[in-house]
Amino acid sequence: MSFETIFNQYSWAEVHESILAKTSKDVEYALASPKPDLEDFKALISPAGLPYLEKMAQLSSDITRKRFGKTIQLYIPLYLANMCENKCVYCGFSAENKIKRKILSIDEIMAEVKVIKAMGYDHILLVTGEAPHRSGMDYFREVFKALRPHFAQISLEVQPLDTHEYADLIALGLHAVYVYQETYNRDNYLLYHKGGKKQDFLWRLETPDRLGLAKVHKIGLGILAGLEDWRTDSFFCALHLNYLEKTYWRTKYSLSFPRLRPHQGLFEPQNPMNDKQLLQLICAYRLFNNEVEISISTRESAVYRDNIMKLGITTMSAGSKTEPGGYVVSNKELEQFAISDERSPAEVQQMIKTQGFEVVWKDWEGFN
C-alpha cells in the first residue's frame, strides 16, 4: 500500500466544505483535546479558528518549547543548477522562461562551500531545477563525494528519484530529502504543470513512500501556498504526514509553508494566504503534531519571521541565495525567486539570541 490508497478515499470538494462548516464549538473541542485528530485539524485551520489565534499561538509555543527547547536550527540552500525540464507556471526556473542557465562545476561548488562554511554552517541543503539529463544521479554522486568531508549532514531538494537511487545517495551521506507536492488538488494540478516529468501527479505523490522504503533519516513535506485553497491543501498534507509517520515510523519529518514570491514569469497567485492565516496554519500543525519540525524560510520578511519565531518554528534559513553561484557572485538573472529577509546568518543569529533562544547549526546526530 502507498499513500495513493489513502488519498483516493477523500474528495477535495468534500474536504473543502467540511473545513468551512467547522464551528467555534469544534475549535474549542480541538483546543481542549490532548491529541487532536484530523477532524480537529480541520477545525483549527478553518475560518472559525482564526478568532482563537492567540490561544492557539500560546499552546503552540508551549508545546514547541517542551519538545524542542529554546533552540532554532539554521539552514542554508546551495543551488547547484537552475536548468529545468518542467514547465511550472509559478517558478522562475520553468523551461518556458528565457533566463540564463547554469550548472556549477565541482570547483565552483567548492568556492560556494568556502563562503557557506565561513558563515558557520555544518550542514547543507542542495537544490536544483528538475533536469535529470544534466543534473542527475551521476552529477549528484560526484557532488556528494566532494561535499561529504565538509558537512555533517547533506540534504536534497531536487527531482523525485527511484528508491534505489535514494539508497545510493544515503550511502554517500544523504540525510534528508524535501519534496513538496505543491498542491494536492489533482483535478487542477495540470493547470500549474504544463510540461515535464512533474506533470505526473502520482509519481510525485508517492515520492515520500520511496524515501521511506529507502530509510532516509528525514522527509520534508509541504504545499505552495497561493496555488489552491491553502486550508484544503494543508489538510491533505496533514493526511500525508499522518500516513507516513505510521508507515515509516523510524523516519523524522518536517514541514514547510512556502508562499509564492516574485519570480521570472507572469503568474499571479489566485489563492493568497495572509500573515495571520500562515500563523494559524503553523499553530494548527504544532497542535496536531508535537514532533514534526516546522521551517520558515527567507521568503518571509524579517519582521514577520522575528515575530513568529517563538510560536512553533524550529528551523529557519538565513543568508539564502536562490541562484547557482550566488554566494560567490550574486546574479539575480539566475535566481529561482526573490527572497524577502536579506539579513546575514550572523544578524539572524543575533536576533535569535536576543529573544532568549540558542542557535543550532546542525542536527545533533552526524554521519562522521
Show Cβ contacts of residue 153 under 8 Å, excluding neighbours closer than 6 positions: 122, 123, 124, 173, 175, 176, 362, 363, 366, 367
- Provide the pLDDT for residue 265: 53
User: Is 362 strand, coil or helix?
Assistant: coil
- Provide the pLDDT for residue 274: 93
| Annotated domain spans of the chain | 3-360
Three cell numbers written together for 191: 493547470
User: CA–CA separation, 249 vs 238, rounded Å?
Assistant: 15
- Provide the pLDDT for residue 339: 82
Domain boundaries 3-360, CATH class: alpha beta
Residuewise pLDDT in 10s, the chain (368 residues):
799 999 999 999 999 999 999 999 999 999 999 999 999 999 999 999 999 999 999 999 999 999 999 999 999 999 999 999 999 998 888 999 888 999 999 999 999 999 999 999 999 999 999 999 999 999 999 999 999 999 999 999 999 999 999 999 999 999 999 999 999 999 999 999 999 999 999 999 999 999 999 999 999 999 999 899 999 999 999 999 999 999 999 999 999 988 876 555 556 778 889 999 999 999 999 999 999 999 999 999 999 999 999 999 999 999 999 899 999 998 877 777 778 999 999 999 999 999 999 999 876 544 44
Q: Is 182 left (phi over 0), alpha (psi -120 to 50) or beta?
A: left
Please indicate, yes or no, whether the overall pTM of this predicted structure exceeds 0.85: yes
- Provide the pLDDT for residue 295: 97
Q: Which candidate, 292, 312, 301, 297, places its Cα nearest to that of 274?
A: 301
- Provide the pLDDT for residue 132: 94
- Provide the pLDDT for residue 60: 98
pLDDT digit string (tens) for 20-73?
999 999 999 999 999 999 999 999 999 999 999 999 999 999 999 999 999 999
Q: Which candidate, 186, 188, 161, places its Cα nearest to that of 174?
A: 161
- Provide the pLDDT for residue 308: 96
Q: Which candidate, 252, 191, 193, 180, places its Cα nearest to that of 222?
A: 180
- Provide the pLDDT for residue 368: 41
Q: Which candidate, 210, 219, 231, places its Cα nearest to that of 167?
A: 210
Show Cβ contacts of residue 95 under 8 Å, excluding neighbours closer than 6 positions: 84, 85, 86, 87, 195, 196
pLDDT digit string (tens) for 173-226?
999 999 999 999 999 999 999 999 999 999 999 999 999 999 999 999 999 998
